[in-house]
């Protein structure tokens, strides 16, 4: 978002928080999505969920690295696939990087895209 590298305590974390809070405080739905490492984003995400007056479900897609690579290879954007390689994915991947306090619902790799979407829509 600010072309900032993803570092602990980076200003991007506060900006994500402010943006989500602003949207929620003004009656919009907000989806905070991405590679959000628990040790970097956990405190912000927990505070955001606690502060929101509405429903705030959180989800963790529990997909093994090998399946992550397989799914990544199915993306239609060939230029993106050349830029984001399995080596990049291995640097980003963290197995079971869950937030404290069981904040997230874990969705495992066996869940189909449709089932996952339906679950999230139903619960949110």
Alpha-carbon distance 27 to 94, whole Å? 33
pTM of the model as a whole? 0.85
Neighbours of 99 (CB within 10 A): 18
Alpha-carbon distance 31 to 46, whole Å? 14
| The token pair that represents 79 in the structure block | 């230029």
Look at the block and give the residue holding tokens 């490492």.
37
Residue 9 pLDDT: 85
Domain boundaries, the chain: 1-54, 57-124
Collapsed DSSP state (helix, strand, coil) of residue 88:
helix
What would the pLDDT profile of 1-32 be if each residue is shown by its tens digit?
Answer: 567 778 888 899 999 999 999 999 999 999 99
Confidence of residue 63 (pLDDT cuts 50, 70, 90): very high
What would the pLDDT profile of 71-115 be if each residue is shown by its tens digit?
Answer: 999 999 999 999 999 999 999 999 999 998 889 999 999 999 999
Alpha-carbon distance 38 to 1, whole Å? 19
């Amino acid at each position: 978002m600010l072309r900032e590298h993803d570092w602990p305590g980076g200003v991007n974390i506060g900006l994500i928080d402010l943006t989500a809070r602003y949207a929620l405080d003004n009656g919009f739905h907000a989806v905070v999505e991405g590679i959000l490492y628990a040790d970097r984003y956990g405190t912000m995400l927990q505070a955001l969920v606690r502060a929101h007056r509405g429903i705030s479900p959180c989800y963790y897609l529990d997909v093994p690295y090998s399946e992550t690579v397989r799914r990544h290879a199915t993306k239609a954007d060939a230029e993106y696939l050349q830029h984001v390689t399995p080596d990049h994915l291995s640097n980003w991947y963290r197995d079971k990087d869950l937030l404290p306090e069981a904040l997230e619902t874990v969705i495992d790799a066996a869940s189909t895209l449709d089932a996952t979407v339906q679950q999230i829509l139903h619960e949110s």
